[in-house]
Chain A
Amino acid sequence: MNVIEIKNLTKMYGKARGIENVSFNVEEGEIFGFIGPNGAGKSTTIRTLLSLIYPTSGSAAIFGKDIITAAPEIKKDIGYLPSEVFYYDNMKVIDLLKYSASFYKKDCTKRIRELAEIMELDLTKKIDDLSLGNKKKVGIVQGLLHEPKLIILDEPTSGLDPLMQQKFFDLLEKENKKGATILFSSHILSEVQRLCDRVAIIKDGRIVTVEKISTLKENTYKKFKVETKSEIGMEHFNVEGVNQLEKDGSTISFLFRGNINSIMKKIAEIEIANIWVEEPDLEEIFMHYYERED
């Protein structure tokens, strides 16, 4: 079952582009990564899903319900953590969390204590006096206290120290095991690689690809590095399927996609000193998608 279904979603800010024809689905129980650099349209998509802004055209459904007409109903089961958290001044942490909990018709007191303990959050402090990282923790507790079925995270880790990040990820994985679906937007690819099952890559407001991370890494690309005995021109490898061809002295590196036999033959034609074949990390795949059309 698809928890999120997005169909040709377009948002224009006047004439300026927000997102164009964005379509993808997020399945129940998966951790879905949403990656792209600043300004690509990640937040616009997420804010549209949360009906904070309204689409120019296209539609989307969460839990099979339309995001605009069924917004309040959908939100009962959504937890949202924005990249920057701002809360009401002059409120204690516990007051804010209670206020937040009061929107969901269930008792969250125990859960608040639990989460606060995991995140090492002092509930009696005033929000004004908290550091950025601690405000973030409030955001995390606030987003998870009602045990949402869908967790939407918009670049959530900024401001958290590595230790807390680890705890936060553990928490997310635990929620995921319990059945929560997670939409995780980020430009920090190592996070996504570590956590997510599938990713959508967005560029200039359009979805470039939606793929399993394992597929992206294993089947699609291989990273080759070849050290030659004598220096040869890199044109030798300039064949179909080769990308990001680079040469540094006697070392030539490239990404390859296609029939692995054809590239092995190419390598066999020359005298080599050493060879490395690696799975590319997400970063390189990402760069590949971003540089391809430029």
Chain B
Amino acid sequence: MNMFLHELKAYRKSTIVWTLSLVALVILFLSMFPSFSKDAEEFKKLLEGFPVEVRKAIGLSIDSIATLLGFYSYAFLYLKLAGAIQAMNLGTSILSKESREKTADFLLTKPVTRKQVVTAKVMAALVSLILTNIVFIMLSFVMASIVAGDEFSKKVFFLLSITLFFIQLMFLALGIIISVIFPKIKSVISVSLGTVFGFFMLGMISSTTDDKALRYLTPFYYFDSAYIVKNTGYENSFLVTGIILIIAAVAASYYLYAKKDVHSV
């Protein structure tokens, strides 16, 4: 418990900053919705006359483009990006910081197992993300209710919003396993930005080629907004894959962290 609280405290400031940034981002985007929906209404009629490839290339479903949920889906791309960076940073740094800041000797000569160390740290990261998401989802709802012209499905809005958390979990797990495999990470931000943007680009490509196999490689597109809006649910195959990936990465991290040699400085 002491380790858990210590970690939570250590990440307090960054959690607050990230939460505020995400909230600011969603407020910024949603505040533009009223003027956008006015523009879009006029344009919507025009768009219907065009071939399907065009619409697909643009990446937005024609039916939802001018609705709050459609607009939110678009903005969500950037929210996902920011959220993924937060989670990846957290995951990459939380286990590796002991060796980077040379405090591993301190912690690992205490009467705790390595397993307990990993558990405390993973739990602290998880709680940070959960707190971020609670605040984020609540304020998104408030903002959405303010700007929405007419009714929108609260359930779909929630299902969309909570995918931020799922994607963060995937990147958290990815960050943790990377930090265990490459313990000598000097600059967390370089590693996490590189990885997140790598996946982001990969996602942009797979979203247009419609290659299902490629989609499995990009956590950003595990939860397709258009599908969620249409079916009020997630694609099971991706949900299961996501869960398996997270469990596998965390389990492997436990195993590797318990085995590894901690070298002196």
Contacts and interface: CB of A to CB of B under 8 A. Distances in A.
Interface of A: 43, 47, 50-54, 71-76, 78, 80, 82, 84, 86-89, 99-100, 102-104, 142
A75 B261 CA distance: 17
Given A47-B264, A72-B111, A103-B110, A54 B259 contact: yes
A52 B105 contact: yes
Q: What are the 5 closest A-B residue pairs judged by CB atoms, nearest first? A: A86-B102, A102-B2, A53-B261, A75-B111, A76-B111
B112 A88 contact: no
Given A54-B259, A54-B261, A71 B2 contact: no
B202 interface: no
B212 to A, nearest CB: 43
Contact of B103 (A54, A88, A102): A88
Contact of A82 (B101, B105, B259, B263): B105
B154 interface: no
Taking chain A's interface residues, is the majority helix, strand, or loop, or is none over half, making it mixed? loop
Interface of B: 2, 6, 10, 101-106, 108-113, 116, 259, 261-265
Contacts of B259: 54
A136 to B, nearest CB: 13
A73 B111 contact: yes
B106 A87 contact: yes
B264 to A, nearest CB: 5
B110 A86 contact: no
10 contacts: A43-B264, A47-B264, A71-B113, A72-B113, A86-B103, A89-B101, A103-B2, A103-B110, A104-B110, A142-B106
Given A82-B264, A88-B10, A102-B2, A52 B111 contact: no
Contacts of A87: 103, 106
Contacts of B105: 52, 80, 82, 86
B262 A75 contact: no
Contacts of A54: 259, 261
A52 B109 contact: yes
B112 A103 contact: yes
Contacts of B106: 86-87, 100, 142
